[in-house]
């Protein structure tokens, strides 16, 4: 992947070229069934640049999870290509971590929090003392008390389990984080705390994040850009920039009149497509 051509700002000065990090090109996926095939997604193309936070929204059942699974190399696409840092994705790639909505898919219930978070480093055969140290640092980063290390996932609240899942996703320092509705199963108050935690680690570690959500408010609050998908078989309806100032703040950002305008526009696009389907 070559850097995009260097854009000119309105004032005429030259901005640095953006480096493509994740490129999705003409992705399609059909599932075989008795009648032939269910077309889940078709012709989905978009690019994430280094350090961007991009959300995907779309009508229920439009193929968001299918898309993310293909991007993560967990599901072979029927057509199209995914490139991570310039290399084609043909299976689960290094440099990419996934956080699911369902913590039981991210965390092993029979392993302690410390073992769960340290697992990616163990598979790299790193020394035990180093793993212990890195796990402790990462737990602190996601706002968990060190005493949590010896506990098991099922002994923690949903919000704490998602913090553990985020710690585990970050510990191997992936270039890209894919998140499939990670906060959909927690209560509203926990959710806002997790959103702010995610924004903090995204900024601190300069990650590139692709975030799938049903929640338009959440997408607008978090993202630099929103990719709106059509109903299944989904394609990209449009991509909307979210030029709200950062750092974001649950009160100030949501009181900004531009927040309401962008939110209404995304809602209109999703509803329009649902009515047309
Ligand atoms: N394993 C499968 N076999 C057959 N069809 C499938 C399979 N997985 C998904 N589908 C179909 O593909 C389409 C997209 O499903 P997918 O779960 O990717 O959408 P989604 O947008 O993530 O859904 P939701 O809004 O419920 O989270 C749906 O029509 C679904 O029924």
41-71 tens-digit pLDDT: 999 999 999 999 999 999 988 999 999 999 9
Q: Could you tell me if 231 and 59 are in contact, meaning their C-beta atoms sit under 8 angstroms apart?
A: yes
Averaged pLDDT, 225-233:
93
Query: What is the distance between the alpha carbons of residues 41 and 55, in angstroms, rounded to a whole number?
Result: 17
| ipTM of predicted assembly, 2 dp | 0.96
Q: Which atom, in ligand 1's list, is nearest to the CA of 69?
A: 18
Instruction: Establish whether residue 59 lines the binding site of ligand 1, counting it when its CB lies within 6 angstroms of any ligand atom.
Output: no
The SS3 of residue 208 is: strand
User: What separation in Å is there between the alpha carbon of 39 and the centre of ligand 1?
Assistant: 9
Domains of the chain: 1-6+18-95+175-277 (3.40.50.300), 103-173 (no CATH)
Q: Which residues are CB-neighbours of 147 under 8 A, at least 6 positions away?
A: none
Q: Which atom, in ligand 1's list, is nearest to the CA of 58?
A: 21
203-223 tens-digit pLDDT: 999 999 999 999 999 999 999
Provide the pLDDT for residue 18: 82
Q: Sheet holding 208-212: strands in order across? A: 96-100, 176-180, 208-212, 53-57, 225-229, 236-241
Confidence of residue 16 (pLDDT cuts 50, 70, 90): low
Q: Which atom, in ligand 1's list, is nearest to the CA of 29?
A: 12
């Amino acid at each position: 992947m070559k850097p995009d051509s260097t854009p000119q700002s309105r004032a005429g000065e030259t901005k640095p070229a953006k480096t493509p990090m994740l490129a999705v090109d003409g992705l399609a996926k059909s599932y075989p069934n008795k009648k032939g095939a269910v077309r889940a997604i078709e012709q989905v193309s978009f690019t994430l640049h280094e350090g961007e936070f991009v959300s995907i929204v779309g009508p229920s059942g439009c193929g968001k999870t299918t898309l993310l699974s293909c991007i993560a190399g967990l599901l072979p696409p029927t057509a199209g290509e995914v490139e991570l840092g310039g290399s084609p994705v043909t299976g689960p790639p290094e440099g990419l971590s996934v956080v699911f909505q369902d913590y039981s898919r991210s965390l092993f219930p029979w392993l302690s929090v410390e073992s769960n978070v340290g697992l990616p480093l163990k598979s790299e055969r790193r020394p035990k003392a180093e793993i212990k140290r890195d796990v402790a640092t990462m737990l602190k980063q996601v706002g968990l008390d060190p005493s949590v290390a010896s506990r098991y996932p099922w002994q923690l609240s949903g919000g704490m389990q998602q913090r553990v899942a985020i710690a585990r996703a970050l510990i191997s320092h992936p270039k890209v984080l894919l998140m499939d509705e990670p906060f959909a199963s927690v209560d509203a108050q926990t959710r806002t705390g997790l959103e702010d935690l995610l924004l903090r680690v995204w900024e601190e570690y300069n990650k590139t994040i692709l975030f799938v959500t049903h929640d338009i408010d959440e997408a607008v609050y978090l993202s630099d850009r929103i990719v709106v998908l059509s109903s299944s078989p989904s394609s990209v309806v449009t991509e909307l920039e979210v030029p709200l100032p950062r750092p974001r703040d649950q009160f100030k950002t949501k009181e900004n009149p531009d927040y309401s305008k962008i939110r209404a526009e995304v809602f209109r696009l999703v509803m329009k497509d649902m009515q047309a389907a």
